[in-house]
Amino acid sequence: MVYPLNEYAASDPSRLMATDGQNAHTTADVNRRTNQLIHAFRSYGLDPGSRLAIVANNSSDYLCIALAAGLSGISLVPINWHLKAQEAAYLLEASGANGIVIDPDHRSLGEAAASEAGIDLCISLATLVESLAQRPDTEPQDPGPFSSVIYYTSGTTGRPKGTRLAQTPTAVPLEEAIATMRKAAGSSAQQQATVFLTPGPLYHAAPLNTSISAVLLGGTIHIMPRFDPEEMLKLIDKYKVQRTTMVPIMFNRLLNLPDQVREKYDVSSLETVTHLAAHIPVHVKHEMIKWWGPKLVDAYGSSEVGVVSLISSEEWLQRPGSVGKPIPSLSLQIIDEQDREAPIGETGMIYITSHTELDISYLDDAEKTASVHRGEKQFTLGDMGYLDEEGYLFLVDRRVDMINSAGVNVYPAEIESTVMLHPSVDDVGVFGIPNQEWGQEVKAAIKLREGFAASDGLAQEITTFLEGMLASYKVPKSIDFMEELPRYTNGKLHRRELRDPYWPQS
C-alpha cells in the first residue's frame, strides 16, 4: 500500500493540510516532513517496535512526528507538560521509552525526567526540525505496520496506567488502520476529507487521534497552540471549519464571551461538534445548542476503549443528560452492589460487553486489567449510571468520587450540575470530607464569575438556593471559594487534589 500522504501530495500538492497558528503546510509539505522524520528516526536507531516519548506544545511538527512514528512502527508516548519531572520520569520508565523528543519550552522538564528514567536519547525538537533538510524525503521502501499511540490515564485513583486506544495490537497493517479510521469518520468521502479544528492538547487521546485520522483521510487540520475562546471562533470563521472535538469547560468559556464578541464570527460551517471527557451541565448544553444549532454530539468513552456510546443533539433534547446508546459493537449492563443486573432506572456500575475483539488492558499491569473485568469480555471504566426504558445511558458519577453520608450514596456530579445554575458560579467541584457522625459530609469548592466577590453572605445565598432544589443531605455543608479549580487539561476535575487535604494520609 502506498502511503496515503504520498497520494495526496501527488494528486493535489498545493492544497492546505495543516496549520498551527505560525505555520501553514500543504499536502506536499506534510508528506515531505513526515517522510524525512521517518528517516531521521531510523538514523537514531528507533526501529519498528521502539517507543518514543514526546513533551512539546501543540504544533504541526508534533502532528508530523506522530504520523511518522505511527507509519514507521514506533509507538509514540505523549507526555503532559504540566507534570513534574518525577511524574514524567515514571511515565518514561513505565512505557519503556527508548528516547524522548523535547521542545525548547519544556527542555528542563524533559531532560530532568529523562535523566531520572535513565534515558540517553534526548532529541531536541528544534534540532530535529532543522536537520530535516538533510534527510531523504522519499517514501521508505518498507512501510511496515502502523503503530498505535500509548496513552496514560489521568491517574485519578493512583498512578497513571498505560493503554492503547481501543486496545489495538502494538502494530497493525496500514490498510487495516486506515479502514478503521474511515469507519469511525463515516462512509462518505466528504465526511472523511473534512476541515477539522483541534483546540485541545495533543498529549491527550482524542485531540491527537482525531488529528492523525483527519490528515490520513485527506482532510485539513487546524491545530490551536492553546485554547482561546475568541481565537477558536475566529478560526472556525476563517477556515470554514466543519468538525471539532471539545471538552465541556471550553463551552463554559465560549458562553462567557460578551455577546458582541460572539456575534462577530460566523460558525455556520460547523457540522459536528463532538464533546467528551467530562460531565456537561444540562443548561450549558442547552445554551450551546441554542447558539450553534443541533450539531453537538456527546461521546462517552475513554482512552482505554475509545467511544462507548453516542447521542445526537436531537436525541439529547428529548432526554437531557443522557450520553446515548452504545455503539453497535458494544452492549451495556448496570450491575448493583450485590453483583446483579440492576433494574431499569436504578444506579449501578456500568459494565461494557464487547461483541468484537475489543477488550481493555493496561500496559504491563495484569492486576489492574483483571480488576476491571467481570467475565471474559465484560469490563468497566469505573463509572456509575443507569439505563432508561429505551436503553439510553445516563451517567451518575465515578465510584471513587461517590460520597457516602450516613449510609446514603451521594453523587457529586448531580450536585455540581445544580450549583452551576447559580448566576455567580463559573466552576465547581463537590467532594466528601470526614464527618464524625455521618462518616462523610458534602463540601463544595467554587470559582466565581467576574463581578462576584467571595463572602459568607454569598456562600449562604448559594446554600439557600440549593436547599430549594436538592435533598438536604445533598446540600454542601460548607463552601470554599477558589481562584481556580484544579482540572486536568482534558477538563476532568482533579478531585483528589481538593479532597486529600481533609483526609488523614496513610
Higher-pLDDT residue of 490, 387: 387
What is the distance in angstroms between the CA of the first residue and the CA of the last residue of the chain? 56
pLDDT band at 157 (very low <50, low <70, confident <90, very high): very low
Higher-pLDDT residue of 129, 354: 129
How far is the C-alpha of 218 from the C-alpha of 26, rounded, in Å?
11
* CB crowding 380-407: b at 16 or more within 10 Å, else e: bbbbbbbbeeeebbbbbbbeebbbebee
C-alpha cell read off for 243: 468538525
How far is the C-alpha of 202 from the C-alpha of 125, rounded, in Å?
15
Going from the C-alpha of 146 to that of each of 67, 116, 175, 176, 202, the distances in angstroms are 9, 30, 9, 9, 19
Higher-pLDDT residue of 202, 487: 202
DSSP per position, 343-383: PTT--EEEEEEESSS-----TT-HHHHHHTBSSSSEEEEEE
pLDDT on residue 238 = 97
How far is the C-alpha of 121 from the C-alpha of 53, rounded, in Å?
10
Mean pLDDT of 83-106: 92
Over residues 283-324, the pLDDT tens digits come to 889 999 999 999 999 998 877 777 889 999 999 999 999 999
pLDDT band at 183 (very low <50, low <70, confident <90, very high): low
479 within 8 A of 459, measured Cβ to Cβ:
yes
pLDDT band at 169 (very low <50, low <70, confident <90, very high): very low
Residue 15: name the closest of 30, 32, 1, 4 by CA. 30
Higher-pLDDT residue of 439, 374: 374
Segment among 13-22, 284-293, 312-321, 357-366 with least mean pLDDT: 357-366
User: Is the per-residue pLDDT at 166 higher than 60?
Assistant: no
Chain position carrying cell 452551576: 420
User: Is the per-residue pLDDT at 222 higher than 90?
Assistant: yes
User: Is the per-residue pLDDT at 188 higher than 60?
Assistant: no
Dihedral sign for Cα 469, 472, 473, 477, please: positive
User: Is the per-residue pLDDT at 142 higher than 70?
Assistant: no
pLDDT on residue 2 = 58
Higher-pLDDT residue of 223, 90: 223
Higher-pLDDT residue of 177, 383: 383
β-strand pairing of 16-19 with 24-26: antiparallel
pLDDT band at 190 (very low <50, low <70, confident <90, very high): very low
pLDDT on residue 172 = 65
pLDDT on residue 359 = 67
User: Is the per-residue pLDDT at 187 higher than 60?
Assistant: no
Segment among 100-114, 121-135, 154-168, 400-414 with least mean pLDDT: 154-168
> Which residues face 441 on adjacent strands?
433
In this structure, which topology does domain 402-502 adopt according to CATH?
A: GMP Synthetase; Chain A, domain 3 (3.30.300)
User: Is the per-residue pLDDT at 421 higher than 60?
Assistant: yes
pLDDT on residue 241 = 97
Query: What φ, ψ does residue 362 adopt, rounded to 5°?
Result: -115, 140
How far is the C-alpha of 75 from the C-alpha of 363, rounded, in Å?
13
Mean pLDDT of 83-87: 84
Domain positions in the chain are: 15-217, 227-398, 402-502
Mean pLDDT of 406-421: 82
Residue 164: name the closest of 298, 32, 358 by CA. 358
pLDDT on residue 165 = 46
Going from the C-alpha of 318 to that of each of 73, 291, 322, 375, 393, the distances in angstroms are 45, 18, 9, 34, 13
User: Is the per-residue pLDDT at 180 higher than 80?
Assistant: no
How far is the C-alpha of 107 from the C-alpha of 164, rounded, in Å?
26
Residue 197: name the closest of 233, 245, 262 by CA. 245
Q: What share of the chain has pLDDT > 90, as a percent?
A: 56
Over residues 56-70, the pLDDT tens digits come to 999 999 999 999 999
CATH, range 15-217: 3.40.50.980
User: Is the per-residue pLDDT at 417 higher than 80?
Assistant: yes
Residue 209: name the closest of 253, 161, 156, 150 by CA. 150
In this structure, which topology does domain 227-398 adopt according to CATH?
A: Rossmann fold (3.40.50)
pLDDT on residue 176 = 67
Over residues 375-395, the pLDDT tens digits come to 777 888 888 899 999 999 998
How far is the C-alpha of 285 from the C-alpha of 308, rounded, in Å?
20
* CB crowding 238-270: b at 16 or more within 10 Å, else e: ebebbbbbbbbbbbbebeebeeeebeebebeeb
Mean pLDDT of 168-177: 60
Over residues 245-295, the pLDDT tens digits come to 998 888 988 998 999 999 999 999 999 999 987 678 788 899 999 999 999
DSSP per position, 110-144: HHHHHHHHT---EEEHHHHHHGGGGS--SPPS---
Q: What's the whole-number average pLDDT of the chain?
A: 87
How far is the C-alpha of 296 from the C-alpha of 274, rounded, in Å?
6
How far is the C-alpha of 389 from the C-alpha of 369, rounded, in Å?
31
C-alpha cell read off for 109: 522538564
> In CATH terms, are 227-398 and 402-502 the same topology?
no
